[in-house]
Homo-oligomer: A and B are copies of this chain.
Amino acid sequence: MKKSLADKIEEYLKVLIERSENRQVEIQRSELAETFDCVPSQVTYVLSTRFTEETGYLTESRRGGKGYVKITRLDDSDLKSDTFRRELISFIDEMRDKKNISSKEAEMLKFLTNYAFQGFAVEEKNRIFKALKKALENYLL
């Protein structure tokens, strides 16, 4: 795959995280930008597109002097990212309210959403729920 700058920064950070003790790395945004010879907001871009809750990461930061950015890879026990499942459920309810699907269909879809993927990893579930929502959107057309 042709690597964009964003790809390279992503890869670099992931290597650092893998090598770390605690699946965690702390950097300085401006310093990293200098390393890759780009503007600091490029780093912000990478963080917001590649190190999100959806992809299984948590980022924290502080501005000002001694500022930093800390990235942590979440494991399954950090199970608080239920956003995508809830979003899918809301979407199903919405479809039912708008009469795009029947109540019975909505119930079936919600059952599958809630029970089929128990035991799957968090970020995998997120991708699945997102894909299902997108497919449902297409189904309506």
Using a CB–CB distance below 8 Å, which chain A residues touch chain B? 1-4, 7, 26, 28, 62, 65-68, 70, 101-102, 104-105, 108, 111-112, 115-117, 120, 124, 127-128, 131-132, 134-136, 138-139
In the assembled complex, the Cα of A127 lies from the Cα of B116 at a distance in Å of 10
B104 x A116 contact (CB < 8 A)? no
A108 x B105 contact (CB < 8 A)? yes
Q: Which of B4, B26, B120, B131 contacts A1 (CB 8 A)?
A: B26
A127 x B132 contact (CB < 8 A)? no
A112 x B136 contact (CB < 8 A)? yes
Q: Quickly give the copy total for this chain.
A: 2
CB distance from A103 to the nearest CB of B (A): 12
B116 x A134 contact (CB < 8 A)? yes
In the assembled complex, the Cα of A136 lies from the Cα of B66 at a distance in Å of 30
CB distance from A24 to the nearest CB of B (A): 10
In the assembled complex, the Cα of A111 lies from the Cα of B101 at a distance in Å of 14
In the assembled complex, the Cα of A78 lies from the Cα of B131 at a distance in Å of 21
In the assembled complex, the Cα of A66 lies from the Cα of B9 at a distance in Å of 14
A134 to B, closest residue via Cβ? B116
CB distance from A34 to the nearest CB of B (A): 16
* Complex interface: chain B residues within 8 A of A135 (CB): 111-112, 115-116
B115 x A138 contact (CB < 8 A)? yes
Most buried by B among A28, A116, A139: A116
